[in-house]
Copies of this chain bind each other. A is one copy, B any other.
Amino acid sequence: MMHQRPRISDVARLAGVSTATVSRALSNPALVSEETRAAVDQAVQATGYRINHAARNLRHRRTGGIVALVPGLANPFFSQILSGIASVLAPAGYNLLVADTRSAGADTLLSYAEPSRADGLIVLDGTLPAAGLTRMPVVLACEWVPGLIAPRVKIDNREAAAMAVNHLADLGHRRIGHVAGPPGNVLTEARQAGWQEACIARGLTPDPALLYPGDFGLDSGQRAARLWLDQPKDSRPTAVFLASDEMACGFIGEVVRHGIRVPQDLSVVGFDDIELVAHIAPPLTTIRQPRNQLGRIAAERLLARLEGRVDDTDTVLPVELVLRGSTAPPRG
């Protein structure tokens, strides 16, 4: 859709120099004399010239685009990560292309991860096949793809889960339940393992009856709550640690509707600290992930890679247990 846009040759003609000189004056001003630079600048002003990225990209054999592969654009958890990514990509002159790994087919995703479309990849979905992701520099953020060697920006999910369990154990809870994430997800495994280990370390039993299936989504939290409600009162957990805040919201909503009081009758700890959970009643005690920072660092590490600085170490960001109103000592 480029109409009659001025080209570099128009600028050159007006400034009385060659196109090569205009190009240099624009991209590497130190290379030309001061007068030339001034003449070119003036001609740029006069013509309203703006560079044509497609031409420049073709010449540079790059695309200027970075693709973020997100499992569910509609998931509020990812929007702040994207926000962080965008905030470092834009100043560096890269476009952020966003692709939803849930709504797009495998072939669409592969076509996004194509060298002529993007220069690099930020993968936020750990369930993608590693094979398709090796065609360009890639950074893994939050989730990671087992077997894919690439820098990862993540948190210590095991430790984070242990923080939640320890908080509940400190309050005096002896039966601490866990609502897990989707099966096969690396985060699910790490958080569940953290729950299990921390329970054992505190002399508690991570009984299978205390473990509920989930998928990070609201509805699965609600389903877990129904399972909990169906359990005998004297053997069900007095506290539940859920692998996502969304599930925690669904869980609390459902038990409250059945007359359970949180935290008096049941303590709940979530995971993520999405913005909203500070404002529900009761405000949710949860594990805060530095989402914006996760995005920024992932983008920075990808840029470093694109500049040739290769470094496959992991960046592990600190999490924080945010104490709010959804946890209390068990009754009696």
Contact = CB atoms under 8 A, between A and B. Distances in A.
A108 interface: yes
A204 interface: no
A13 interface: no
Interface string A55-97: 1011001110100000011111011101100110011000111
A131 interface: no
17 contacts: A1-B63, A3-B115, A50-B116, A53-B116, A58-B58, A73-B79, A74-B76, A74-B79, A74-B292, A83-B100, A86-B98, A86-B104, A95-B97, A96-B98, A218-B276, A252-B281, A253-B281
Given A74-B80, A221-B279, A249-B280, A98 B99 contact: no
Given A253-B281, A279-B218, A2 B116 contact: yes
**Copies, count:** 2
Residue in A87, A108, A116 whose Cβ sees the most chain B Cβ within 10 Å: A116
A63 B63 CA distance: 11
A18 interface: no
Contacts of A1: 61-63, 115, 119-120, 136-137, 306
A63 B73 contact: no
Contacts of A278: 218
B65 A73 contact: no
A68 B2 CA distance: 19
A98 B86 CA distance: 8
A226 interface: no
Interface in A87-143: 87, 90-91, 95-100, 103-104, 108, 114-117, 119-120, 136-137
A79 B86 contact: no
Interface residues on A, range: 35 or more
Interface of A: 1-3, 5, 50-55, 57-58, 61-63, 65, 72-76, 78-80, 82-83, 86-87, 90-91, 95-100, 103-104, 108, 114-117, 119-120, 136-137, 218, 221-222, 246, 249-250, 252-254, 256-257, 275-276, 278-281, 283, 292, 306
A139 to B, nearest CB: 14
Contact of A52 (B65, B72, B104, B116): B116
Contacts of A222: 279
A62 B103 CA distance: 26
Contact of A115 (B2, B55, B136): B2
